[in-house]
Structure formats: C-alpha cells, structure tokens
Amino acid sequence: MSSNIELPKIDPTGYIRTYVPIAIGAILGWLIATYTIVADAILWLDTNVTVFLPGTNWRELLNAAAIATVTALYYWGARQLGRRWPSIEKWLLGSSAVPLYTAR
C-alpha cells in the first residue's frame, strides 16, 4: 500500500532565502561565541554548571544556542531592513523575491 502525498511546490528563492542567512548566521555566531565576551561567559558556564549535570558538554550546547540566536537575529534584521529599503534585502538574504508556496 503506497500513499501518494503531494507536497507543495517550493519556489527556489525559498532555498536561497533560507540558506544564505543560515550560512552568514553560523559564521557570525561562531565568531561571536569564539572571540568575544560571549566566549568567556560560555567557558564560565561550562566550568561551573558541569557539576549539576556531569558528562554534559555545555560549551557545545551554548555555542549552538549562540549560533542559532545570531542566525535568527540576522534574518529578522534583514527582513526589517528590507521593509524599509527593499534593495538591501537582496544583498542580505540572497534574493529580494519573497518565495511563493502553492499547492499542486
């Protein structure tokens, strides 16, 4: 028995507008989590919180959280700037066209 589920067709600009902010956010998040005061805070938390849950690698978890936060903020900021200056959105997100998601 096979089920034929048809997913909506995704406009290719959706991929561009998804992966460009992920790549830029990951790079910025890693830089922030590695070379700023955030790195010191992560190290302090990793050192002091480990006593509560031994065996947990807090540094990796906190680095991932920092990267996810920076990525979300980058995307949100790019969208806000794009509302004011639409041409900037193309440079920040890789495309100024908002993708359309339609059912087949």
pTM of the model: 0.68
10 DSSP β-pair partners: 101
Determine what percent of the chain is predicted with pLDDT higher than 70: 86
pLDDT tens-digit profile of 21-36? 888 888 888 888 788 8
Taking phi first (over 0 means left), then psi (-120 to 50 degrees means alpha), and beta for anything else, what does residue 77 get?
alpha
User: How many residues are recorded in the chain?
Assistant: 104
Q: What is the tens place of the pLDDT at every residue in 34-49?
A: 888 878 887 787 777 7
The two tokens of residue 92 are: 């920040």
Residue labelled with tokens 């004011």: 84
